[in-house]
Structure 1
Amino acid sequence: MTKVLLLNFIVLAVLSASSGYETPTKGVARDWLKPRIYLARPQRLPGTHHIVSEERLRQIRSELLYPFSDQGGNDGYGDYQRGIQSPTPQIQKNFTFTLPFLGFHFNYVKVSINGYLGFSDPPEEYTYPLVFPIKRWPRSVPVSDPSFIGIFYSKMRVGNAHPADIDQRRPGVYFKLETDLQADTDQFGVELRERLVRDIREGGLQGSENFVPKHAIITTWKNMSFLGGIDKALDTTNTFQVVIATDEVRTYAIFNYADLHWLSHTEAGGDTVSGMGGVPAYVGFNGGNGTQTFEYLPYSQSPSLFEIAKQGCGNGFPGRHIFQIDEKIILASCKNIR
């Protein structure tokens, strides 16, 4: 009996490694968005090209969140960013391409624990509610007017995992960069590219009807609690994700809100137990240096922010909101949610 069990385990392990995906658990809905492990892509055979079926596309598009992993990769942690904790709130990621954002072109991004992707350093001091552009710039030095993409701009700390959750990936910040998607022929690359194409085109934004992404950035904040709360507040967490897709001319941002249970940190007046009250998180975009800004109303810095996880603007998915962000911010059409 022991030999049989061992043989079965070996067979399952080989199948999982060869496909790059974790074997589904019986009785639990699983697909490529759920696995904790992604392995090195298998060597491509000459002349091979993965073809994704419509059924497979429907399957992978049925999940709100795009893929991220806390195992595998060069260091064994996958996309998990061990360097991002409260004492070190942001790290910089460099690109081999340029990302158009509000008329500028960037070859790097700063990933912050505080719910945004930045292209410059944040202000040293905050006044709530947040107002961008910062009017004191450039008259008052060293006050800065930061450039950022803010999905849930609020001071945070890594919270606790929930033992009852099916998804047991570790709490924290995840960052995945996929380049040269137009040339990808393996399963992961083809499915990611086709999923982005379908999701963005359904938003009806300018230029999306023939958009094919070259590069994608997937940043996920999982089980994040608010800064300043008591220890028990670490059990009160939010999970959300921003996906950036670009062909180096047009850039689109997909905001996915999976789970919201608090709105504000204590510095902004939030309660130390619940994270409620005070000034809720900022949602929006700022070009920086006194240029363009876009605050996503009526959700940003409002108690109605909880509703952002129930509503959808893009392809009717609750909690999904799609924007074009290369030259100016344009919100996708808001359709009836699924």
Structure 2
Amino acid sequence: MKVSPIVVLLLLSHAEEWGPLRTSGAPVGPLGRVLYPFGPGVGDEATHHEDDGTSPEIFLQENFSFFGRAYRSLYVNNNGVVSFGTMVPEFTPQPFPLPGHHPFVAPYWADVDTRLGGNVFYRQSQDAQLLARLAQDLAPAVPPGDLPPQPTWAFVATWDRVAYFGAASDKVNTFQAVLASDGVTCFVLLNYGDLQWTTGIANQGDPHTGLGGIPAQAGFNSGDDVHYYNVPGSRTPAVQSLSHRSNLGVPGRWAFRVDHFETTEGSPETPGTLPKTPEAPWNLLPPHKTPSVSPKPPRITEEQVYVCGS
């Protein structure tokens, strides 16, 4: 069970170390250039400022195919997840694959608390300028000889300078998930700006640094126990470096085709032994379970990740 950050702050003895809580925060460095425009100025809506919150069900203008299944609605969850079929209030990140049918995209699954800072924005768009930029940015994500993507629709979800649960500092994160489709071919882009924390205090993170404990998870889970991807560094301190790494050679950008999947990666790291609670319903994967792996060599592997200079 989570302890209110107010209680945590009352237990801290030095008020001058708390930092400017309940503000939008401010990144230490410039935001990544990989981020697409976001905010009220481009027509975004926002989730409520709350812990473990989520958007209402969002009905899509076009079907989005995610590993062979078409979805017509989704949820944007404050804890760094875009999910299909159900909300994801869970604040403890788990390695993929998850047991049961839980299809979602996780740009940065961690314990976000927007009561303490930041906003979670979202919109779907058919803006010609946005789609043209997406087409250009997605071109390197297809094999040589394949037709370049020409998206006709996009969904943009942005976590803008969001704080972590129990924060006793002004450390914040900015990241983005973008879904793009031409009606048949579907892609997911994960874009990262400034990442200053990895863990909330309910997952044993330090209230002053936002580090330690169980760090954030990034990747996607198809919900079929076979097709999934753990971005290298997930649930380790290295996840904070996502804004400097890439599978395209563009610092802070990761791109994946998701309407089909030819192979799957190897076994994820062994899940932790956190107690199962109502707020952690997916801590169900037995430590000995090994997911099925395609006999074909994976097209996306840790060796293909570019480490880019800042």
Give the TM-score taking structure 1 as reference length.
0.64
Distance 1:290 1:336 in 2: 29
Please name the residue that 1:218 is paired with. Answer: 156
The secondary structure found in structure 2 opposite 1:157 is coil
After TM superposition, give the deviation of residue 205 of structure 1 in Å.
Answer: 4.2
After TM superposition, give the deviation of residue 121 of structure 1 in Å.
Answer: 2.8
* Alignment deviations for residues 79-133 of structure 1 (CA, whole Å, 9 cap, x no partner): 141435326333221013210011111001111001010013357767x661333
Q: Do residues 151 (structure 1) and 107 (structure 2) align?
A: yes
Q: 1:304 to 1:293 in 2, by over 3 A?
A: same
Please name the residue that 2:253 is paired with. Answer: 320
After TM superposition, give the deviation of residue 193 of structure 1 in Å.
Answer: 1.9
Match of 1:173 among 120, 125, 128: 120
Distance 2:194 2:58 in 1: 26
* Alignment deviations for residues 201-245 of structure 1 (CA, whole Å, 9 cap, x no partner): 02334786332101101111001111133xx33x11000011111
Distance 1:201 1:99 in 2: 19
Q: Do residues 293 (structure 1) and 189 (structure 2) align?
A: no
Q: 1:335 to 1:204 in 2, by over 3 A?
A: farther
- Any conservation in 2 of the 1:159–1:237 contact (CA below 8 Å)? no
Q: Do residues 192 (structure 1) and 130 (structure 2) align?
A: yes
Please name the residue that 2:245 is paired with. Answer: 311
- What do you get for the CA RMSD once the two structures are aligned? 2.8
Distance 1:336 1:276 in 2: 21
> What does 1:250-269 correspond to in 2, within 5 Å?
250-269=185-204
Distance 2:90 2:113 in 1: 18
Structure 1 spans left out of the alignment, 5+ residues: 1-33, 35-61, 73-77, 138-144, 162-170, 180-188
Please name the residue that 2:81 is paired with. Answer: 116
- Any conservation in 2 of the 1:91–1:112 contact (CA below 8 Å)? no
Distance 2:38 2:96 in 1: 31
The secondary structure found in structure 1 opposite 2:57 is strand
Percent sequence identity over aligned pairs: 25
The secondary structure found in structure 2 opposite 1:308 is helix
Match of 1:280 among 215, 218, 239: 215
The secondary structure found in structure 2 opposite 1:212 is coil
* Alignment deviations for residues 239-260 of structure 1 (CA, whole Å, 9 cap, x no partner): 0011111112111111111000
Q: 1:307 to 1:63 in 2, by over 3 A?
A: closer
- Any conservation in 2 of the 1:259–1:309 contact (CA below 8 Å)? yes
- Any conservation in 1 of the 2:204–2:213 contact (CA below 8 Å)? yes
After TM superposition, give the deviation of residue 280 of structure 1 in Å.
Answer: 0.6
Distance 1:87 1:129 in 2: 13
Please name the residue that 1:130 is paired with. Answer: 94
Q: 1:121 to 1:335 in 2, by over 3 A?
A: same
Distance 1:309 1:98 in 2: 30
Q: Do residues 246 (structure 1) and 181 (structure 2) align?
A: yes
Q: Do residues 237 (structure 1) and 134 (structure 2) align?
A: no
Distance 1:129 1:159 in 2: 20
Q: Could you say which structure has the greater relative contact order, defined with CA pairs below 8 angstroms and 6 or more residues apart?
A: 2
* Alignment deviations for residues 264-308 of structure 1 (CA, whole Å, 9 cap, x no partner): 1122211122110011111111112545222112x2111111221
The secondary structure found in structure 1 opposite 2:242 is helix
The structure whose residues are more often helix, as a share, is 1
Give the TM-score taking structure 2 as reference length.
0.69
Distance 1:94 1:175 in 2: 12
- Count the aligned residue pairs: 241
Q: 1:205 to 1:280 in 2, by over 3 A?
A: farther
The code of the aligned residue for 1:192 comes to L
Which has the larger displacement, 250-259 or 322-331?
322-331
Distance 1:159 1:84 in 2: 5
The secondary structure found in structure 2 opposite 1:197 is helix
Largest Rg, 1 or 2: 1
The code of the aligned residue for 1:133 comes to P
